[in-house]
Chains A and B, each alone.
Chain A
């Protein structure tokens, strides 16, 4: 059942330039949806329009089938968690958690019960009488969560709630938030700039870039089938290698000394065409010398323990590639090593607009790609 629906949502501050272009989105009841993109892409603006903190310039917002464009925030039946938590410094934890519940005509007793329940769920029970400044960052974060939970609103909006926490705590809160959301069955719209958060938490996600929706889908689908070079390099860490190359019927020319066989077996007619090749680091493999596509020069290695990142160059020193191999590999700078590209994982993108032309890993070239290449 559709819970939140955005149709043709637009935002403009000066009436001329749109900072949000035509966003269409249907959220299912109980879905965990992530809006992800680099800072300034407009993801928070979308969230704030849904919350009613920013007026909607154009397009429509429906919640449970009712048009909500002009409703004030408190009439939209949602809760919100802010990046800096927005805790009231002069109120203690309990007062912060129950802040505003009286406007919903909830009795004192019920307020206390809900507060206790949320505090238990989040391990805050011992801190109810403390002021926010006496709490650690993680505890403050939990208070903000608790405040969202006690409203029992069916929709929760979170604006970069984890960005002020250290890396370890962030990882833990990721799964905690996810578990709470599942347990309460609420619909979540979650804004982040961190692609790892998006990948690990989302049921579905939308990648935004300069106010435009780049792609909507399940995390793995997006990872495996990026719609364009922006998504390809934004999702995944380290990012997908995207380099210019020439495609001929016989092969893809990555550099004067490196040509990989053309994986588009059916497309023999494809003429020489300047495209961008994308290949994820894990699809560049160490190879026996006789099977190698190229022998490359190592520029840097980062040994992470279970895996190793190797930065190398083919011929052009300005184009640095990254490969990711399992295990611990020791190379010195300047070592020359044989590598092989997994031709089943090659993506081809248009050079003009960055859109996907062809991807190998779904078994067959998609329709549009074939047309473009013809």
Chain B
């Protein structure tokens, strides 16, 4: 790409070349797998906790709720050094484990789902008690299907966030086989900057395409869901 405002010719060469310069396919796969695992993990862990907060009464519940709130006040960056050490000592660097497990519990996700669970009439729960359905079955067969739209919202949000994560993968991956696509982009940019912006931009397009599509598909849901979760 020279200095012209409009490119002189269109070609897909840059897209082919970017796959040769860096192992972009591996990075894409890594990003996809970790994002999917984190998404499922967050949905499961958050919905279990939200269910307990809404449909159960037991000693210590309010205290735990307070603990959950307090995690939102702790900036993740303030804890990254010991977290990195933990992952290192567990031998989880350069693995999906290290990229995913630390993010399974999500206070925001728990609140968002709690907000939705609270709109489910308590009578549904009581009716299932009269019918003799166990709590776990009620959670699985009633609560999760009924909350499908909130779960999708949270799922999209969590996939987006994890696909776009930068600092943590930068810390815990240093091999080509483990890197995610965002780090790949940085690598591409540092190594290609002098030579060819066209290739770098091709990389950018490939990286943002999946999330942009996901965002467009789920925009309405996100807009509604995030506002609900955010405002009591």
B117-139 with Cβ < 8 A to chain A = 121, 123-124, 126-133
- Asked if A88 and B133 make an inter-chain contact with CB atoms under 8 angstroms apart, the answer reads no
Encode A71-110 as 1/0 by CB contact (under 8 A) with B: 0111100111011111011100000000111011000000
10 tightest A-B CB contacts, nearest first: A100-B131, A74-B132, A86-B123, A86-B127, A103-B132, A82-B123, A90-B145, A73-B129, A73-B130, A80-B130
Query: Does A115 lie at the interface of the complex (its beta carbon under 8 Å from any beta carbon of B)?
Result: no
Docked pose: A354 CA to B212 CA in angstroms: 72
In contact, A103 and B131 (Cβ under 8 angstroms): yes
B171 contacts the other chain (Cβ, under 8 Å)? no
Contact (A103, B142) CB under 8 Å given A82-B126, A84-B121, A86-B127 = no
Is B130 touching A89 in the complex (CB atoms < 8 A)?
Answer: no
B130 touches A79 (CB 8 A): yes
Asked whether, in the complex, the Cβ of B128 is within 8 Å of the Cβ of A99, the reply is yes
- On whether the beta carbons of B126 and A100 are closer than 8 Å, the reply is no
B16 at the interface (CB under 8 A from A): no
Look across to chain A and name the residue whose beta carbon is closest to the beta carbon of B124: A86
Sample of 5 more A-B contacts, CB < 8 Å, known A84-B121, A90-B142, A103-B132: A53-B126, A73-B129, A100-B128, A103-B131, A104-B132
> How far is it, in angstroms, between the C-alpha of A270 and the C-alpha of B124 when the chains are bound?
59
The answer to whether A51 has its CB under 8 Å from any CB of chain B is yes
Q: Is there contact, CB below 8 Å, between B146 and A89?
A: yes
| Total count of chain A residues near the partner, CB < 8 A | 26
Residues 201-225 of chain B, each 1 if its beta carbon lies under 8 Å from chain A, else 0: 0000000000000000000000000
In the complex with contacts A90-B145, A90-B146, A99-B123 CB distance below 8 A: no
Pairs across A and B, CB under 8 Å, 12 listed: A51-B126, A51-B130, A52-B129, A53-B129, A73-B132, A83-B123, A88-B124, A90-B145, A100-B132, A100-B133, A104-B132, A151-B131
Of B129, B131, B132, B142, most buried by chain A (CB within 10 Å of CB) is B131
In the complex, the chain A residue whose C-beta lies closest to that of B126 is A53
In the complex with contacts A88-B146, A90-B146, A80-B128 CB distance below 8 A: no
Known contacts A86-B121, A89-B146, A90-B146, A72 near B129 by CB under 8 Å: yes
Tell me how far the C-beta of B9 lies from the nearest C-beta in chain A, rounded to whole angstroms.
54
How distant is the Cα of A101 from the Cα of B133 in the complex, in angstroms? 9
Q: A100 vs B36: C-alpha distance in the bound complex, in angstroms?
A: 34
What residues of chain B have their CB less than 8 Å away from a CB belonging to chain A? Answer: 121, 123-124, 126-133, 142, 145-146, 148
Question: Judging by beta carbons under 8 Å apart, are B123 and A103 in contact?
Answer: no
In whole angstroms, how far apart are the Cα atoms of A52 and B146 in the complex?
25
**In the complex the two chains form, what is the Cα distance from A187 to B128 in whole Å?**
21
- In the assembled complex, the Cα of A80 lies from the Cα of B127 at a distance in Å of 7
A84-B121, A86-B121, A88-B146 given; A74·B131 CB < 8 A: yes
Q: In the complex, which of the residues B123, B129, B142 has the most CB atoms of chain A within 10 Å of its own CB atom?
A: B123
Can you name the residue of chain B whose Cβ is closest to the Cβ of A76? B130
Q: Given the complex, which residues of B lie within 8 Å of A75, measured CB to CB?
A: 132
Q: Closest A-chain residue to B137, C-beta based?
A: A103
The answer to whether B130 and A78 have CB atoms under 8 Å apart is: yes
Interface residues in A201-238 (C-beta closer than 8 Å to B): none
Tell me the nearest residue of chain B to A82, going by C-beta.
B123
**Distance in Å: Cβ of A232 to nearest Cβ of chain B:** 34
> Nearest chain B CB to A148's CB is how many angstroms away?
9
B132 to A82, Cβ gap below 8 A?
A: no
- Chain B residues lying within 8 Å of A101, measured Cβ to Cβ, are 131
Instruction: With both chains docked as a complex, state the minimum distance between the C-beta of A151 and any C-beta of chain B, in angstroms.
Output: 8
Say whether A99 contacts B131, CB under 8 Å. Answer: yes
Using a CB-CB cutoff of 8 Å, which residues 43-80 of chain A contact chain B? Answer: 48, 51-53, 72-75, 78-80
Q: Which residues from A are CB-within-8-Å of B126?
A: 48, 51, 53, 73, 80, 82, 86
Q: CA of A88 to CA of B141 in the docked complex: distance in angstroms?
A: 10
Partner of B129, one of A74, A79, A83, A85: A74
Residue numbers in B under 8 Å from A51 (CB-CB): 126, 130
Q: How close is B127's CB to chain A, nearest CB, in angstroms?
A: 4
B88 to chain A, nearest CB (A): 45
Determine the chain A residues whose CB is within 8 A of the CB of B128 once the complex forms. Answer: 99-100
Contacts of A84 in B (CB 8 A): 121, 123
Closest chain-A Cβ to B121's Cβ sits at a distance in Å of 6
B84 to chain A, nearest CB (A): 43
Q: How far is the CA of A258 from the CA of B123 in the complex (A)?
A: 54
Q: Kindly state the separation between the CA atoms of A72 and B128 in the bound complex, as whole angstroms.
A: 12
* A168-B48 Cα distance, complex, nearest whole Å: 44
**Contact residues in A for B129 (Cβ distance below 8 Å):** 52-53, 72-74
Q: Report how far A103 CA is from B128 CA in the complex, Å.
A: 11
Q: Known: A82-B123, A84-B121, A86-B121. Is A74-B145 also a contact (CB below 8 A)?
A: no
Q: How far is the CA of A75 from the CA of B129 in the complex (A)?
A: 10
The minimal Cβ–Cβ distance linking B142 to chain A, given in whole angstroms, is: 6
Q: Is the CB of A82 within 8 A of B127?
A: yes
Cα distance A88–B133 when bound, in Å? Answer: 13
Are B130 and A74 in contact, with the CB atoms below 8 A?
Answer: yes
- Least distance between B124 CB and chain A CB atoms (Å): 5
List of B residues within 8 angstroms of A82 by Cβ: 123, 126-127
Question: Could you say which residues of chain B place their CB within 8 Å of the CB of A90?
Answer: 142, 145-146, 148
**A98 (CB) vs chain B CBs: closest residue:** B131
* Closest Cβ–Cβ distance, residue B49 to chain A (whole Å): 22
Question: Chain B residues near A103 (CB, 8 Å)?
Answer: 131-133
The residues of B that contact A89 with a CB separation of less than 8 Å are 146
CA distance A226 to B133 in the complex (A): 43
